[in-house]
Amino acid sequence: MNWSWSYFFDYLTNGLMLQGAWTTVWLSVVSMVLGLGLGIIAAMMKMYGTRPLRMIADFYIWLFRGTPILIQLVIIYTGLPQLGIRLNVIEAAILGLALNEGAYLAEIIRAGIMAVDKGQHDASRAVGMTWRQRMWHVILPQATRTIIPPMGNQFNGMLKTTSLASVISMEELMRSAQMLAQIEFRVLEVYCVAAIWYLVLVTIWSAIQVRIEAHYEKPFGPAAAVAPEAEKELKKALQQAGTAKI
């Protein structure tokens, strides 16, 4: 089969491919948000919960990190109906992706919280803060700097992981490519176009991630307000010191 540039360019702007790319974006966002919620809950249960809650969190993380997401999607879509739980393709895809992502994010969040210096925990407890106040005002803002980079990488991976939802007929980018390939039998052209669209989505997100990380690297709280003034004073002091030395 010879390469056809005409088919290649037609597929680039094909309505089915564009719709698939948009589905990949919103499916990734929804699954990531739900996975983040599950990850926070699992991380809190594992770190601060009672023994039964820690065991539940450990089992959840162990199960979904230890099995392929492809199998998880198939079991959710075809197995749950046998238990009387019927989900359509979209619901099954979101549930499977969110559950899988939540298990990984739970460990990322736990690692970020553990990276905060123990003195911060002790100091906030010493001034009478409740557990909720300590987490919200002291621990999580500092842990965010550690959590953001790997979480961004997880979303990067999610954009590509959604392609596995095609196995349960979710019409995202990969499924759209498969459908077009079955119509025209131009397999190489259509999958090259799909690869280009994935590259475009990942590149856009990478640029967004850089800006997000740069934002969270800035000082926060009172230090952020005094930092520019402190820098000016430092420069002035260095200039005076240089003059005095001469």
Report the distance separating Cα 97 and Cα 70, nearest Å.
10
pLDDT, position 191: 94
pLDDT, position 242: 55
Report the distance separating Cα 112 and Cα 152, nearest Å.
14
Residue matched to tokens 């089915």: 16
Q: What residue numbers bound the domain in which 231 lies?
A: 5-245
Task: Report the CATH number at residue 34.
Answer: 1.10.3720.10
Is 61 in contact with 106 (CB distance < 8 Å)? yes
Q: Is 219 helix (H, G, I), strand (E, B) or coil?
A: coil
Per-residue pLDDT of the chain (246 residues; tens, 9 = 90+): 688 899 899 999 999 999 999 999 999 999 999 999 999 999 999 999 999 999 999 999 999 999 999 999 999 999 999 998 999 999 999 999 999 999 999 999 999 998 888 888 788 888 888 878 888 888 888 888 889 999 999 999 999 999 999 999 999 999 999 999 988 888 999 999 999 999 999 999 999 999 998 887 766 554 444 445 545 554 555 565 555 444
Q: Is 46 helix (H, G, I), strand (E, B) or coil?
A: helix
pLDDT, position 226: 42
pLDDT, position 232: 57
Report the distance separating Cα 74 and Cα 93, nearest Å.
9
Report the distance separating Cα 191 and Cα 22, nearest Å.
17
Number of domains forming the structure of the chain: 1
The pTM for the full model equals 0.82
How many of the other CB atoms lie within 10 Å of CB of 149? 16
Query: CA–CA distance from 220 to each of 15, 90, 181 (Å)?
Result: 45, 40, 51
Which residues touch 31 (CB under 8 Å, ≥6 apart)?
A: 93, 94, 97, 98, 101, 158, 162
